[in-house]
Amino acid sequence: MRGKVKRGDGFRRVLLAAAMVTLPAEVVVGGRVTMLDKDDHPGDVGQAVVWLATPAPVAVAPVRAEIGTADKEFSPHVLVVPVGSTVSFPNHDPFNHNVFSLSEESPFDLGLYGRGEARSVKFSRPGVVRVYCNVHAQMSAIVVVRDNPYVTQPGSDGTFSLPSVPAGSYLLHVWHERAPEVSRQLQVPPAGIENLAVELDARGYRFKPHLNKFGQPYPQQGRRY
């Protein structure tokens, strides 16, 4: 007959130590972004991006996303993706486009391509990547690339929510293309935060034409479409 295995003090100490180990609480960080525009009218706050910066990257799975070109416009205008994601730029117009970016984080040039074609870019570094068309000066889009999952865009009313955020210290960023970026230290308690209030000020925004892929102004004459 086999004897029973006796579990002594050492085994009990291991169980006690394991029970005392607690993982960081994952909570919700939420609030509302408001934006003052010219004449103090509310701005298009839904185009803002809210994220928490961490001391080191936090693994997040890359995705495949799309920014379409139609009627000489990019859609969506602002796209948020994790590092390592691939974005396709399909052309739905009956004429050529040349999608490019001179942004330091991810410069690229997809060359001329026609209707029904699509070309792609992989974004390997975090940052704000401004995208243009070398044929049509009025076309612009923005890809915001982040290296952790704590990023979102507000609703049209400015409310936002970041779920599953471990309690701890972060740097909060709120970005909009027409307003100075707001950043501040944020301590997230175990109970989370539900009433963050951030105000953006776009009253001083002035449109500035961008340059083409050669770093030159766009020609004002000679374009067929």
User: What percent of the chain clears pLDDT 90, i.e. is strictly above it?
Assistant: 82
Report yes or no on 115 lying in a domain: yes
What integer is the mean pLDDT of 48-64?
96
Q: Are strands 140-146 and 78-82 parallel, antiparallel or unpaired?
A: parallel
Chosen domain end from 147, 163, 193: 147
Report yes or no on 211 lying in a domain: no
pLDDT at 68 over 70: yes
pLDDT at 190 over 90: yes
Instruction: List the beta bridge partners of residue 141.
Output: 131
What are the residues whose beta carbons fall under 8 Å from the beta carbon of 204, sequence distance 6 or more?
A: none
pLDDT of residue 40: 67
**Do 135 and 191 have their domain in common?**
no
**Do 160 and 141 have their domain in common?**
no
pLDDT of residue 38: 84
Sign, CA torsion 30/189/60/171: positive
pLDDT of residue 111: 98
pLDDT at 142 over 90: yes
pLDDT of residue 39: 74
Report yes or no on 17 lying in a domain: no
pLDDT at 34 over 90: yes
Report yes or no on 155 lying in a domain: yes
Report yes or no on 161 lying in a domain: yes
CATH assignment of the domain containing 91: 2.60.40.420
Which is nearest to 121 in space by CA: 94, 162, 88?
Answer: 88
pLDDT at 64 over 70: yes
pLDDT of residue 13: 41
Q: Residue 220 — pLDDT band, cuts 50, 70, 90?
A: confident
C-beta neighbour count of 76 within 10 angstroms: 15
Range scoring the smallest mean pLDDT among 41-50, 106-115, 157-166: 41-50
Q: Residue 144 — pLDDT band, cuts 50, 70, 90?
A: very high
**Do 174 and 117 have their domain in common?**
no
pLDDT of residue 19: 35
Chosen domain end from 132, 147, 162: 147
Report yes or no on 160 lying in a domain: yes
Output the CA–CA distances (angstroms, integers) from residue 41 to 28, 37, 172, 213, in the order listed. 30, 5, 25, 35
**Do 161 and 171 have their domain in common?**
yes
Kindly report the pTM of this predicted structure.
Answer: 0.86
pLDDT at 143 over 70: yes
Q: Residue 93 — pLDDT band, cuts 50, 70, 90?
A: very high
**Do 169 and 64 have their domain in common?**
no
**Do 50 and 93 have their domain in common?**
no
pLDDT at 26 over 70: yes
Report yes or no on 222 lying in a domain: no
What integer is the mean pLDDT of 55-64?
96
The average confidence (pLDDT) of the chain is 89
**Do 131 and 180 have their domain in common?**
no
CATH assignment of the domain containing 198: 2.60.40.1120
User: Domain of 48?
Assistant: 25-56+149-205
**Do 193 and 82 have their domain in common?**
no
Report yes or no on 19 lying in a domain: no
pLDDT at 158 over 80: yes
Going through the chain in order, the beta strands assigned E by DSSP cover 26-36, 49-53, 64-66, 68-70, 73-75, 78-82, 85-90, 97-101, 108-113, 118-123, 127-133, 140-146, 151-152, 159-166, 168-176, 179-188, 193-201
**Do 154 and 178 have their domain in common?**
yes
Query: What distance in Å separates the CA atoms of residue 46 and residue 43, rounded to the nearest whole number?
Result: 9
Count how many domains the chain has. 2
pLDDT at 4 over 60: no
